[in-house]
Amino acid sequence: MDITRKLLSIPTYLLLIVMFIFFSFINVLITYLFRKYVRVKVMNEHNEVTGYVFSVVAGFYALVLAFVVFQALDGFNSVQRDADIEGSLAKSLYRQIKYYPDTANVSALQKEYMVYVNLVVDEEFPKMEKIERSPATTRSFGNIYERIVRLNPAEHNTEDKAVIMLSHLNELAKYRNLRILAGDSEIPLIMWITLLLGWFITMIFAALINVENQRYHLFVNGLMGGFAGLIFFLIIILDHPFTGSMSVTPSGYEQIVEMDTHPVLKE
């Protein structure tokens, strides 16, 4: 959702505090209104039933939240793993191009490859943070294919090296496409609506439980709301793996830039 991406523009720790306070406040407000306008006698008569139903509803809602959190975490880890593999393949291809026998076209291939690498670091990943595409990076990646096809390995008896290079490029393309697709995916709006409605219903049941001390009731329910805010914060962070402070970075490509800028550096 656009609103979750906008929330991620807020510094991470500030967003954490804001969501905790916001959900705590909403829950305290709900509890206060119910205590003020719902007759205490009615609440006393049905307090045991309300408490039992609240336990069942809260238990089921906790399972739903756990499922969503683990799904988001699994998706984040999957994106991180694919990005690491992509970076490793990019480094391997860099070495293959760099140490390929000198031909008339390999120099142009080396330059084009570094153009692509720098575009990934400086343009594509920053655009992915905003859920945008980088046409320039896509064009540059296509140019690499053309450069490799133009090589004439038969003249240097390096057919096997050229085949391996093309194979690695195809693998790199596969994981690059997975990364781009992952940048566009997020938890659907209908699921967010379901989670928020579930939270609202759970909080109503918590407010309906009759507790003799009003301050204690408000405090406990406020903590429950704050805890829900922390869970929603975690889901938002994990659902956008390329946005925010806890995001997937182009570390593999950045290492290539360092290797090319400072050839004496060891991997």
Query: Could you tell me if 24 and 256 are in contact, meaning their C-beta atoms sit under 8 angstroms apart?
Result: no
User: Pick from 129, 93, 81, 80: which is nearest to 245 by CA?
Assistant: 129
User: Cα angle vertex 144, ends 122, 87, to 5°?
Assistant: 50
- Give the model confidence (pLDDT) of 67-110 as tens digits: 999 999 998 999 999 999 999 999 999 988 888 776 666 788 88
Q: Determine what percent of the chain is predicted with pLDDT higher than 70.
A: 89
Give the CA distances from residue 226 to residues 33, 142, 168, 263, in Å, rounded to whole numbers and listed in that order.
18, 49, 48, 51
Does residue 165 or residue 245 have the better pLDDT? 165
Domain boundaries, the chain: 2-261
Query: Could you tell me if 113 and 94 are in contact, meaning their C-beta atoms sit under 8 angstroms apart?
Result: yes
Question: pTM of the predicted model, to two decimals?
Answer: 0.80
- Give the model confidence (pLDDT) of 143-154 as tens digits: 998 888 777 665
pLDDT at 41: 58
For residue 86, what are its two tokens? 């992509």
- Give the model confidence (pLDDT) of 158-196 as tens digits: 566 777 888 889 999 999 999 998 887 788 889 999 999
For residue 166, what are its two tokens? 């093309």
d(Cα 36, Cα 83) in Å, to the nearest integer?
54
pLDDT at 20: 95
Query: DSSP labels for 152-186?
Result: -GGGGT-HHHHHHHHHHHHHHHHHHHHHHHHHH--
